[in-house]
Chain A
Amino acid sequence: QQQVKQSPQSLIVQKGGISIINCAYENTAFDYFPWYQQFPGKGPALLIAIRPDVSEKKEGRFTISVNKSAKQFSLHIMDSQPGDSATYFCAATSPYSNDYKLSFGAGTTVTVRA
Chain B
Amino acid sequence: GAGVSQSPSNKVTEKGKDVELRCDPISGHTALYWYRQSLGQGLEFLIYFQGNSAPDKSGLPSDRFSAERTGGSVSTLTIQRTQQEDSAVYLCASSSSGLGGDTQYFGPGTRLTVL
Contact = CB atoms under 8 A, between A and B. Distances in A.
Interface of A: 2, 6, 32, 34, 36, 41-46, 49, 51, 89, 93-102, 104-107
A95 B101 contact: yes
Contacts of A105: 42
A42 B110 CA distance: 10
Interface of B: 4, 31, 33, 40-43, 45, 48, 50, 56, 91, 93, 95, 98-109
A100 B103 contact: no
A86 B69 CA distance: 32
Contacts of A95: 99-101
Contacts of A46: 103-105
Given A44-B91, A105-B42, A107-B42, A100 B108 contact: no
B100 A44 contact: no
B99 A43 contact: no
A43 B107 contact: yes
Contacts of A45: 105-106
A94 B102 CA distance: 11
B100 A89 contact: no
Interface centre among B4, B31, B42, B48 (most CB of A within 10 A): B42
